[in-house]
Each structure stands twice: as structure tokens, then as C-alpha cells.
Amino acid sequence: MEIRYPNGKKYNLTKVEKKTQLHYGNRGMTLEEDLNESNDYYLTNHIAVIHKKPTPVQIVSVDYPSRSAAVIKEAYFKTPSTTDYNGVYKGKYIDFEAKETKNPTSLPLSNFHEHQVNHIRQVLQCGGISFVIIRFSKTEEVYLLDGNFLLQFWERMEKGGRKSITKQEIIDNGHNIPLGINPRIDYIRVIDSLYKEVLD
């Protein structure tokens, strides 16, 4: 929104105002944007260091017109072999995948790659904290579901069962993350109560 002084001169929003406007004005942010912003908050406040991993690409051809500006001319997206987010909180390894669905009643398991599910299994075997953050975009509800439950639902599918996790199953086995202002998705607070014994 453009704001003008009474004399017609354009008023430039300050950084803080822009940020506030973003928070209140833009409810259309993706789960990824909300999580990146929450991670920025954790980082700035020395709470946790959690980053989204870069998208894996297979680089085929690169032009070097000058040393400082190599241009990738041909590359392909690779299937990720791990989850998207990982980092450290209170010394512990944190690892998660974020999934958003427009489906109001269930999360289709086709949202996950087999590699990612195997990665979650491996992380749990090595004592890491692993989970999925799920947003039902229609209602903006966000849940945290521990990796062990994802593995159970994945195995149910492999045995011929349903190819999705129902929203009710996510409610029953997961934890609602209330939406806040800063951070928007305060998943660390849920982790704090959920993995209390491991974290102390």
C-alpha cells in the first residue's frame, strides 16, 4: 500500500514498519516463508541455528565469462536425499520436513520421497529429533508430527493401507503449533515440551 504525506509526497515505510506490514498484511505467505522467518528469529535471538538446505541441482554446463560471474547454463533438479531443514537446538540435532496441503482432510503420502522417509528413519536411529511440520493451507492450521508416526503411516501404506494420513490422525498423534507474530511458527516451543527429557 502506498502512503503519502498531506502534501502528496510519498512516504517511505521504515524497515520496522515494512516488517510489521508484512506480518499483519500478508497472510498469504507460504509455509516455507513462515519457517524461514521463524528460523531467522531463532538465529537472531541465539535460540537455535536451523537452515533450509539449498535445492539440490545437477550442474551440467557452466560458462565462465569472468571469474566472478560464472553462469550455470544447464542444470537439472535432483530428488532430495534428505529432508529440507536441519540444525541445532540445545546441542541436539533437529531435522524436519515441511509439507503444505490444500486437501482439508488428509495429507497424501505422495508428498514424501522414499529417500526422505529413509533419512528420517536414519536420523531417529542416531538419536536425532526428527519430525514433519504440516500445514493445512485452507484453515492455516499447522501441526508437528514426530518422525516415528510418519514412519508408522508410511509402513501402513507399504502394507497396502491408505496412501495418506488423515487430518484426524495428525491431530491425535501430532501437536498443534499456534500461529504467532514473531516467530510466526514457534515450533521450538513445541519441541521444548515434547522432547523435554532428551533436551535436558
Q: Shortest distance, CB of residue 77 to its own copies, whole angstroms?
A: 6
Q: Indicate the burial class of 90 (C-beta count within 10 angstroms; 0-12, 13-18, 19 or more).
A: middle
Query: Would you say 82 is a known binding-site residue?
Result: yes
| Rounded-to-10 torsion of CA 3, 7, 10, 12 | -70
Please tell me whether residue 25 binds its own copies under the rule CB under 8 A. Answer: no
How far apart, in whole angstroms, are the C-alpha atoms of residue 127 and residue 145? 17
Q: Is 73 in the site for its own copies (CB under 8 A)?
A: yes
Site string for its own copies, 79-118 (x = CB under 8 A): --xx---xxxxxxxxxx-----------------------
Binding mask 30-69 for its own copies (x = CB under 8 A): -------------x--xxxx-x-xxxxx-x---------x
Question: Do the Cβ atoms of 137 and 100 come closer than 8 Å?
Answer: yes
Q: What torsion do the CA atoms of 164, 156, 185, 199 make, to the nearest 10 degrees?
A: 180
How many residues of this chain bind its own copies (CB under 8 A)?
43
Closest CB 45 distance from its own copies, rounded Å: 11
CB 70 to its own copies: min, Å: 6
Cell of 163: 496412501
186 assigned binding-site residue: no
Centroid of chain to Cα 28: 15
Q: Which is nearer to its own copies, 128 or 179 (CB)?
A: 128
